[in-house]
Structure 1
């Protein structure tokens, strides 16, 4: 929960919301609550499991997590 006067508490989720708006909702706006929920769920799955990040050496979050936890 964000604290009063601490704008950086929400920086991570605000960054994610900005990314989902820029990459997903500008392409196709859902026209119902159920469609909107399905779009968000699909994007969260894509964001966590498939989307590569340059700061992770071109790995997805899942690949990076597996690489760093493998013995």
Structure 2
């Protein structure tokens, strides 16, 4: 039973981190609002995929900075 006291805060920390991961842009307006742009199938090098604009367009945002 003692391990439950140590395990409970760890589980809460994991659940809290997983809750924020679903806040990615889901359409073109959200992508532009978050200072991104829509790229066809992939993003150029200094940018990374951070969501979807539509079926074949992904939201690209700067990876660093």
Q: Please give the TM-score of this superposition, normalised by the length of structure 2.
A: 0.33
Q: Please give the TM-score of this superposition, normalised by the length of structure 1.
A: 0.31
User: Between Structure 1 and Structure 2, whose CA radius of gyration is higher?
Assistant: 2
Bigger share in helix: 1
Bigger share in strand: 2
More contact order relative to length (CA 8 Å, sep ≥ 6): 2
